Every structure is written in structure tokens, then in C-alpha cells.
Amino acid sequence: MENKKLIIDYQEYASREELPAADRALLDAAIAAIQGSYAPYSHFNVGAAVRLADGTVVKGANQENAAYPSGLCAERTAMFAASANHPGVPFESLAVVCSRDGKLMPNPGSPCGACRQVMAQYERESKRPLRIILGSGGPILVFEGVESIMPLIFNDL
Ligand code: THU
């Protein structure tokens, strides 16, 4: 038996002003996407934006439902919309932000496991690492590839 450690490399930026321009633009698109959040139950508003390899930006926001499990997270709303409307165009990056009562949360939004699994599949289809930008009103974390936020990804191939 051997004890092993996983090490994750990521970048932390103190504020959106510090981000490279392309990441900042995608984060801003995710912030704008919050307008489309429908969250009458949790009152927790999440926005996401996917940039495709051809430069197209597709936004998504969480959608809730009286039958709770029928709702969907912002990340999957954005990714499914991107794939449905631009089939086969590789994903380049994804930004996520969250807010409550019209105020961005102090900590970065962190995608749930189901959204990470969906990211992993589109990343594999895209044949390139998906850049993941997690921010809100405070520090912003940037990860290069889904493996960084979901080690030991399930892969059916
Ligand atoms: N939510 C997202 O949209 N993305 C996440 O990464 C975590 C949670 C949504 C689901 C639900 O509408 C609300 O936030 C509270 O869980």
C-alpha cells in the first residue's frame, strides 16, 4: 500500500479587475446571466456563461420548479443551451457566479457534482481543457481543466 496525494493547481485573483480580459468578459456575461435566474424557492441566483471556440458566449441561469428535482443549475442550463444551439462547437471556458438579494456572494460559486460531470463530458468532446472561472463579489479562482475540480472523473470510454 502507498499513500498518495492529489495536487490541484489553480490561480486566485483578488478581484475581477485583475483577470485577463477574456476571463473578465466571460465573468461579466455570467453576472449578466443572473437576470435570467428563476429561483422562487431558494432565492439563490446563479449565473453561468460558456465561451465556445468560435467566440460565441452562451448564458444560463438556475431554473427552479415546484417539483424541486425538475429544476436545473445555471451551469447545466448554459452548457445544454450551448450544445443544443451550437452542436459540435468545442467549449473553451465557463464562468459561474452567484448572488442573493441582488448582491454577489463574497465567495466564489462552486458547481455541484452533477454539473462537474456534465462539464467533464463536454470537455472530452471538445478535445481541449475547459477553463473554469469561479467568482462572485470577492476572489476569483481559475482552473485549467475539469480534472482540477473533479479528480478521478467517471469516463465511460
Ligand atoms: N445552483 C446552481 O445553479 N449552480 C450551482 O453550482 C449550485 C446550485 C442552484 C440550484 C438551485 O436553484 C439553487 O442554486 C440553490 O441550490
Q: What pTM value is reported for the model?
A: 0.96
Closest approach atom of ligand 1 to CA 77: 3
Domain assignment present for 1: no
Dihedral (C-alpha) 150, 135, 15, 49: value to the nearest 10 degrees? 110
CB burial of residue 76 (10 Å; 0-12, 13-18, 19+)? buried
pLDDT (tens, 9 = 90+) of the chain, 157 residues, equals 999 999 999 999 999 999 999 999 999 999 999 999 999 999 999 999 999 999 999 999 999 999 999 999 999 999 999 999 999 999 999 999 999 999 999 999 899 999 999 999 999 999 999 999 999 999 999 999 999 999 999 887 6
Q: How far apart (Å, rounded) are the C-alpha atoms in residues 51 and 132? A: 10
Domain assignment present for 52: yes
Domain assignment present for 153: no
Domain total for the chain?
1
- Domain with 80, as residue range(s), is 11-148
Is 39's C-beta closer than 6 angstroms to any atom of ligand 1?
yes
Element containing residue 49 per DSSP (H, E): strand 44-52
Domain assignment present for 65: yes
Q: How far apart (Å, rounded) are the C-alpha atoms in residues 96 and 75? A: 7
Domain assignment present for 2: no
Which CATH number belongs to the domain containing residue 78 in this structure? 3.40.140.10
Ligand 1 pocket test: which of 34, 45, 46, 117 has the largest number of ligand atoms within 8 Å of its C-beta? 46
Domain assignment present for 3: no
